[in-house]
Amino acid sequence: MKKHNFYAGPAILPEEVKRKTSASILDFAGMGLSVMEISHRSPQWVECMDKAFSLVNELLRIPEGYKVLFLTGGASSQFYMSAMNLLNDSEVAGYINTGTWSAKAIKEAQLYGTVKEIGSSKDDNYTYIPSVLDSQGIKYAHYTSNNTVFGTQFKELPDVNVPLIADMSSDIFSKEIDINRHDLIYCGAQKNMGPAGVTLVIVKESALGKVTRDIPTILDYRTHISKGSMFNTPPVLPIYVSMLTMQWVKDNGGVAAMNLRNEAKAQLLYDEIDRNDLFKGFVATKDRSTMNACFGLKDDTKKDIFLDMTREAGIVGIEGHRSVGGFRASMYNAMDIESVEVLVSVMKSFSETYG
């Protein structure tokens, strides 16, 4: 039976990418060696790394003055690295609090300067995207573009007149981005780009070198820029799989085509949630995520019955985050609309039997 993978992360990868990765596990680029054991200084790897850089620049239309980095540590490491590199002790940064990950980013940034919460949806358990209340006196505004736990997503950039910093871990390459509005974009790969183990950073060079503190060498973005993301041994396998995934995005029409594909999947599921009397959405309609649909049953006592039905249909990873409950359907780029159709079919069958 075909599996329909709705896990929030590590998340679904294109079948083509998995096949090519499988082959390279045994023989990378005709070297007779696994991609997991080659030297990161070998010409075959350098060519792969260059291609990964090129694909990021092409797919996201990175302007002049920005650098692309592949780092380790996940998006969580960027919670402190971003503030360490961009915020002086005497300065104020604005943060929009939309849930779990932005709250963690706020905590880490407070180690390096003053943090001003310029918007929050905590009052309603993060079920909407808040407006910016006051952005006066801040150096930059930080936001989490898509919230995997609660199922909200910024449809427009925050309304501020300062540079933006964005955690785009779960919707990178899913829609077009105005890079010029940002001084820094970062994302863990394991939602929509590749497997866990590599972190993508896009940074405006002119924003760096302005803090007065000493920064440890390996935590300074300028170090990694100067060494082409190979100051230390890079995570070769995750970068390779991410490169293959970006190539798949390009081959399938690029970011604009991914956006159309994702909107169609999300619309199909949200239409059923709204139509079906047994289900309810958790999030304000205008702020619903195209990546992570969070919803539940009006009668939660039948939750296990519904989950049994999804498992019988080959659906995995549908349970909601423990802090929210209900269900969460993560529909990243690599998911075919067929999988969403299967989920919707189960929802309809459930309604016919128990409605």
Each residue's pLDDT tens digit, 236-290: 999 999 999 999 999 999 999 999 999 999 999 999 999 999 999 999 999 999 9
**What angle is formed at CA 132 by the lines to CA 128 and CA 136, rounded to 5 degrees?**
165
pLDDT band at 197 (very low <50, low <70, confident <90, very high): very high
Give the number of C-alpha atoms closer than 13 A to the C-alpha of residue 252, restricted to the C-beta side. Answer: 22
Please give the share of the chain, as a percent, with pLDDT higher than 70: 100
pLDDT exceeds 90 at position 117? yes
Kindly tell me the sign of the dihedral angle through the C-alpha atoms of 313, 314, 315, 317.
Answer: positive
Helix (H, G, I), strand (E, B) or coil at 324: coil
Hey, which residues are catalytic here? 101, 167, 191
Instruction: Tell me what pLDDT residue 134 has.
Output: 86
CATH node for 15-251: 3.40.640.10
* Domain limits, the chain: 15-251, 254-354
Q: How far apart are CA 350 and CA 329, in angstroms?
A: 17
Look at residue 101 in the predicted model and tell me its pLDDT: 97
Q: Which CATH number is 254-354 given?
A: 3.90.1150.10
* pLDDT > 90? residue 1: no
